[in-house]
Chains A and B, each alone.
Chain A
């Protein structure tokens, strides 16, 4: 039975080892990982991690770029995500029948688009005939450039060589590329990945823009919870880019150019801003030289300057109400610090205690006992963790129950957390499960590649993945109470809800270059 698109939040992350869980952790502790994990930083600044796990003749990779939607330039929201799509469009060697000629043709597309766009955006004196003519010139220039395109060749090469799970994603914090392949294609992969990172070509850009608009329609415009989430974040944040949609505003996407995408690449896709992790049937001694052969030639560049905008302290409680032709939905969020905060593991503990499984407080109170919600959870890091994000609670009301009942019920649980210490059993459960989950995650090339790249990016050392265990072990009942009292206060809260109304026709979207 399909639930809503708010999926069950899986809780704990990665944290490991040590005490308790099992004496027989075997080859799964930090010491054993150090033996089979090698890190190398190339002269151009690129960080490479190779982790040997020769269980089957396959490997997975995870390329993490430390740049996400939060880095979108003002007026060009959605650009990081747009660029992620473009990274599948090929390179100067892949996807083209004649790159030198294509390059000239693509430059003409940019000139033609700029001329068309300038006329299109004129406030006064727009000349319809001229606009039509410029639009035709733009279309002709695109057609001329397309003659050189071998569509989807990059992905095709990967697929024909047995790649599975080819994909990428853009979050607020980072952009990641990943797939798995038979291990005899390791060198081929190194070629492909180094090409797309170092030498992408912004071909078929304006068609892909349409595809991205389609993605926005699917995820946001045509989804009740998507619409609500967009309004929620736009309300909760006044200064920080976390308040903007990662897919971008429709008008922003509709005017972004290949020239801007190239500039974005030049600034953010520098080797110093990336970590690539490879896990599987690979030997560091033979793999590193191959990696070096392909990745070392990518030109160095300065690591992009850190974002300086800090979301100011929220001083007024905020409310968002969507009058929508869909069923009720309730969400509330509180600003919290980023992942480097000393209390990070305390927030994880709260997530676990509120949301993990049938012993979780929200399940027991709202779902099992009061029977007012189908699902109810609390979790950390909406919409991101690199910068101060939010701790959010949401619930899906059962038929006949209201968002108000949900609000009151969640409020009671939050108050309880602020006023009473959690039980020993709850705290122990969190620690035990966090360790077991970490262990379970180690038997999986792609999950492991993801964790290694992410920890290396965030902490500058993948070993933190194991050391986080100490942070977890140190969480106390008093910590939880203290953090709850610090975070869950009225003036720090934004609430969003869907109130059901009869269906009305959707507004026809306005503007934008077509």
Chain B
């Protein structure tokens, strides 16, 4: 009997809820009715103090985090390395991704990638590499009895990779398929265009991988990237599972202590001017639903206003009771998938977005409804009820931030990577608790400026009623995929 996940792919009617509190739909006083659920006792939550990982810093700058978890006989680990797609040259966008794909498939100086596939699959173990926006990584997992073998492969891969031309070609061809297909997915187009508008098409955070930039990447680029990034002071090693921490620390010291310190990796400072305001249209004639995104610049998590903004997010779109879900989905029936967030990233501004998928005819109506909700954030501060619900939602579900050892470890890796205090989560809880309605109103007015937002619509313009021009001057986006360079 198989994969339940398959069902979801086939029919996938997962009822969504991506997002969503109540618009304080003023419930009449007599309505309080009986509300039997309020009479159900809520006992105190069982005492629970998640064990924090053991942290070791080697003399060469490598940070090690160890989290014991003895429930199952597995050990998993992850090596996070500074440097990602935001750091690659503009002419070689896609380099970090190709590096992540080619690294593992090429294999090590001793064992080819293909042979590693056989070796690892026979043990139901994995060693994988990947390239992301800010990092690349090597991760591994196996039954604990296979740890030495699998960790041995991991370190071989880390220290003695053997980038191969045929595997780079394979990665390039698969990446090209994604480029060629990127206009088949309407919501994907909307997300891509929205990101480019917010950060800029040439920005390290907005630029697109193209056939030409893929073609420009050679084997030497991968080797140079590896040389530059893989040094102990640019890495964090995190291991969780069924082991003894002292013994594990000794194994990691043996493997990593001999590595010489390298140059610290520097990410270039980028500028964030935000989108050029206006209405943008990407035409797609084979759809009967529009994807609409209203976007602007967000903030960073170390902003002292982050807590108030986060409560604002809850009120706005944090759950089923949130304003946009209540109004755009439930009250108006204009969308199935609707949501938004004043986004925050750790070391650069996130994105503010409000988005929905709506039938072609109601494109303008849905856009106006979302814009009206953005405006109401500034003019209608959260009611006491909305504020209470928003905060309860965050605080009562707080335990899910650390209900498994992997989550505890993952959080500490992220905090260590971006240089945040290890008690950031606890500070967050306290911060959220203190937010008032006036705080939310203040940050809404401080950070949201409708005149600085861009609206992106991907849809079948012939079916719009009224036309998009009723929202203002429309700029057409050219989503034509630049062809492959002539060989």
**Which chain A residues have a beta carbon within 8 Å of chain B's beta carbons?**
1-7, 9-15, 21-22, 24-28, 55-58, 69, 81, 84-85, 88, 93-94, 96-99, 150-153, 155-157, 159-164, 166-173, 180, 182-185, 187-188, 191-192, 204, 207-215, 217-219, 221-224, 229, 246-247, 281, 324-327, 339, 344, 348, 351, 356-359, 367-368, 371, 374, 379-385, 396-399, 425, 428-429, 432-433, 435-437, 439-440, 442-443, 450, 454-455, 458, 468, 503-506, 508-509
Contacts and interface: CB of A to CB of B under 8 A. Distances in A.
Contacts of B48: 56-57
Chief secondary structure at chain A's binding surface? mixed
Given A184-B45, A428-B122, A170 B173 contact: no
Interface string B461-480: 01100000000000000000
A367 B144 CA distance: 32
B185 A183 contact: no
A93 B15 contact: no
Contacts of A168: 14-15
A383 B460 CA distance: 30
Given A97-B31, A429-B124, 10 more contacts: A2-B178, A5-B9, A153-B321, A155-B319, A161-B396, A163-B397, A215-B336, A382-B6, A455-B1, A505-B460
B336 A211 contact: yes
A334 to B, nearest CB: 16
Contacts of B40: 187-188, 191
Given A84-B15, A506-B288, A156 B3 contact: no
A439 B141 CA distance: 13
13 contacts: A56-B48, A93-B34, A168-B15, A171-B13, A184-B44, A215-B337, A217-B357, A246-B13, A339-B1, A348-B1, A368-B114, A437-B124, A503-B284
Interface in B402-433: 402-404
Contacts of A339: 1
B383 to A, nearest CB: 14
Nearest to B211: A399
B330 A152 contact: yes
Contacts of A508: 463
Contact of B124 (A55, A379, A436, A454): A436
Interface in B432-459: none
A206 to B, nearest CB: 8
Given A2-B182, A339-B1, A399 B177 contact: yes
A11 B463 contact: no
B483 to A, nearest CB: 10
Contacts of B462: 505
Given A152-B22, A166-B17, A443-B71, A358 B185 contact: no
A12 B124 CA distance: 12
Nearest to B15: A168
A22 B122 contact: no
A156 B122 contact: no
B175 interface: yes
Given A351-B2, A450-B4, A215 B13 contact: yes
B17 A358 contact: no
A206 B430 CA distance: 43
B27 A180 contact: no
Interface in B1-59: 1-17, 20-22, 25, 27-28, 30-31, 33-37, 40-46, 48, 50
Contacts of B209: 1
A357 B121 contact: yes
A262 B174 CA distance: 49
A384 B10 CA distance: 9
B269 interface: no
Contact of B333 (A161, A207, A506): A207
A94 B320 CA distance: 14
B396 A214 contact: no
B422 to A, nearest CB: 20
Nearest to B7: A171
Contacts of B183: 326
Given A55-B404, A383-B11, A150 B25 contact: yes
